[in-house]
Amino acid sequence: MCTKADKGNCLVILNKCDYITKVLDFISGPGFSILKHNPTTNFTRTVRNMVYNQRQNLSTFNINYKALLNMNPVCPLLYGLPKIHKPDIPIRPVVCFTDTPVSKITSWLNSILKQHITFARSFSIKNSLNLTSKISSITLPPSFSMVSFDVKNLFPSIPSNECIQLVSEHLSSTHLSDDQYTCIITLLKLCIHQNFFKFNNQCYTQIDGLAMGSNLSPLLAEIFMNNLESNHIATKKKKKKKKKATTPFPF
């Protein structure tokens, strides 16, 4: 079979059985469980009812509730992108959210949250060019080393309830009305609950974390990681400032 590589913008040819095995190895972990039935129909009914109940609040954002509903939604599908730059070529799982029950809601919420949530992105970079710009003027002493830390399987590792709490705290300081605030949080919880997907004709549910493929996941992950880094990494740097000098990289 042929598929796209996770990085490098290239095509990968691999044995289909090996591909399926790698994906199954990932979703057989403790963060996922097998579903006996496809939950799409029942979840779609829940989505339509909840969006309809928020129709008045949605109108204050100048949007008709019908614009957030898919007429014939499908079950999210999981696929894997081979990480050819890593040993043993593991896969990066991705869930396709296109035409799923909450796909339009996540797009709208992503836009709304970006309008109303602002925070200092002290530890974030936009792209590789931004990183190059930040480090180009830094000269490291001979005894220093530059290291990079990565979160394994970022989206599934982010606790969804804490994300909701952080978003709630950010929104509470805005000029949104109580009804608008309630509408956003209600729909946010709804979108996070679309945590199921299908692979190889079998449905699974993701027990916790942010959905892989949701339009909301990158923003929610950044909000969570920014809070984590600001309250732990930055705090520890301040406590250690009397010790051996270090060179902070605020991105």
Joined together, the tokens standing for residue 62 give 């100048």
d(CA 226, CA 153): 17
Q: What are phi and psi of 198, to 5 degrees?
A: -120, 140
- pLDDT number for residue 86: 82
Q: What angle is formed at CA 186 by the lines to CA 181 and CA 191, rounded to 5 degrees?
A: 125
d(CA 90, CA 86): 7
Joined together, the tokens standing for residue 17 give 């059985």
Q: In terms of C-beta distances under 8 Å and separation of at least 24 residues, what long-range contacts does 133-136 make, across chains too?
A: 134/249, 134/251, 135/249
d(CA 204, CA 221): 22
What's the alpha-carbon Rg for the chain, to the nearest Å?
21
249, 233 in Cβ contact below 8 A? no
Joined together, the tokens standing for residue 171 give 């929104």
d(CA 218, CA 9): 21
Closest CA to 35 of 208, 153, 199: 199
pLDDT tens for each residue of the chain, 251 residues long: 888 888 878 888 888 998 899 999 989 888 899 999 999 999 999 999 999 999 999 999 999 999 999 999 999 999 988 888 888 888 888 899 999 999 999 999 999 999 999 876 766 777 788 888 888 888 888 888 888 777 878 888 899 999 999 999 999 989 999 999 999 999 999 999 999 999 999 999 999 899 888 999 999 999 999 888 888 765 555 555 544 444 444 43
- pLDDT number for residue 234: 56
d(CA 124, CA 223): 10
- pLDDT number for residue 216: 94
Name residue 247's amino acid. Answer: T
Helix axes 178-192, 160-171, angle to 10 degrees: 160
- pLDDT number for residue 236: 54
